[in-house]
Amino acid sequence: MSRINTGRFGIGAIAAVVLGLCIFPFFARPYLVEVAMIYFIWIILAQSYRLIVTIHDWQLYHIVLYGVGAYASGMLAKNLGVPVFVAIPLGGVMAALIGVLITLVLLRSTGWGFYIATYGLAELIRLTWLKFRNPFGGSTGIISIPYPPVVGGIDFGASIPYYFFNLGVVLVILYMLYRLEKSQIGDAFKAISMDPELAASTGISIPRNRLLACAIGSFFAGIAGGLIVHRLGAVDPKLFNITTMLYLLIWVVVGGTNTFWGPIIGVSVMYTLFELSRPLIQLRPAFFGLSMVLVLLFMPGGLESLIAKFIGRWRKPNELPAAETK
């Protein structure tokens, strides 16, 4: 499958985007700064979701892992006094453990049975949060979760410092996932996604690599949960329902999963439309569902394929297009 390979243009574009994100909070309205932090979280969720689904299948519990990270981080900080910046990665560890456990249970499941089972297990976890007020707060969730502390004279509970903390976390995660994709482990993941039987015949362990991908993806989903809960100061189980999961799935499909950049493109476009469509909130599900159908029908490679074609037209005649296999 082709990939988006932009060379110097790509490096320059990435540098310009990062610079723009660094300048953004000093000129934007406070509301837009909050929106940008939610955008960072969606980027983490989309990239971690892509890592899992490209080696296994389109599961429906990723948002619940996001919730596991949120609950774990919030409860550790509130009930046990664990520092916020320690509780967030510990929430990621808890999400990774739950994700691996679910994967072990469903390792040999395929097709519709797999989809239904992932949805069922996700609902089981979410209903547990709703049912038990102690320790999960029941349907009202948990409130009075600690905000980030003051470190070195910087109040990370304030909007702009926490924005830069979120930006730093998402950039580190994206870099780690990008390097993973270019590593031998990433090559094994690609081989399994292309042809599991052929990969197994070359000595690649499919179960072990699927568990590894799930552990990594679940960990980062849990990190995203920790980031949101310590900004809101509360955790609400309704944030982690099937509707949110379907939004994530749709946005990743629309962006495309063939390249590293697909989910970023999908979230960037679809989350922008999500925010702009607030006056038409009741029409959102139909709009985003229709968007996915249209992409699957007329642009199976997602928006990333359209951008790849656009970049290809700008290549110099003597510049060969790069290609890679998934």
Residue range 200-217, pLDDT digits in tens? 999 999 999 999 999 999
Which pLDDT tens digit goes with each residue over 238-249?
899 999 999 999
Q: What is the pTM of this model?
A: 0.91
In a domain, 276, yes or no: yes
Under DSSP, is residue 311 helix (H, G, I), strand (E, B) or coil?
helix
Q: Which of these three, 209, 240, 271, is where a domain ends? A: 240
The count of other CB atoms within 10 Å of the CB of residue 286 is 10
| Amino acid found at 238 | K
Domain containing 258: what range? 244-314
Looking at residue 317, the DSSP 8-state letter turns out to be T
Cβ distance 146 to 84 under 8 Å?
yes
Q: What is the pLDDT of residue 8?
A: 63
The total domain count for the chain is 2
**Do 155 and 233 sit in the same domain of this protein?**
yes
Distance in angstroms (rounded) separating the CA atoms of residues 301 and 309: 11
The count of other CB atoms within 10 Å of the CB of residue 27 is 8
**Do 178 and 272 sit in the same domain of this protein?**
no
Looking at residue 142, the DSSP 8-state letter turns out to be B
**Do 217 and 269 sit in the same domain of this protein?**
no
**Do 253 and 211 sit in the same domain of this protein?**
no
Query: What's the token pair of residue 289?
Result: 């569902």
Which pLDDT tens digit goes with each residue over 52-108?
988 877 889 999 999 999 999 999 999 999 999 999 999 999 999 999 999 999 887
Q: Which of these three, 240, 274, 295, is where a domain ends? A: 240
Under DSSP, is residue 120 helix (H, G, I), strand (E, B) or coil?
helix
> Does 317 have pLDDT greater than 70?
no
| Amino acid found at 81 | G
In a domain, 226, yes or no: yes
For residue 85, the surrounding DSSP H or E stretch is: helix 84-106
Residue found by looking up tokens 């690649």 in the block = 204
Query: What's the token pair of residue 278?
Result: 């607030």
**Do 61 and 171 sit in the same domain of this protein?**
yes
Looking at residue 157, the DSSP 8-state letter turns out to be T
**Do 176 and 294 sit in the same domain of this protein?**
no
Residue 34 backbone zone (phi > 0: left; psi -120 to 50: alpha; other: beta):
alpha
Q: What is the pLDDT of residue 13?
A: 81
Closest CA to 146 of 156, 135, 161: 156
Q: Which of these three, 222, 240, 258, is where a domain ends? A: 240
Q: What is the pLDDT of residue 1?
A: 41
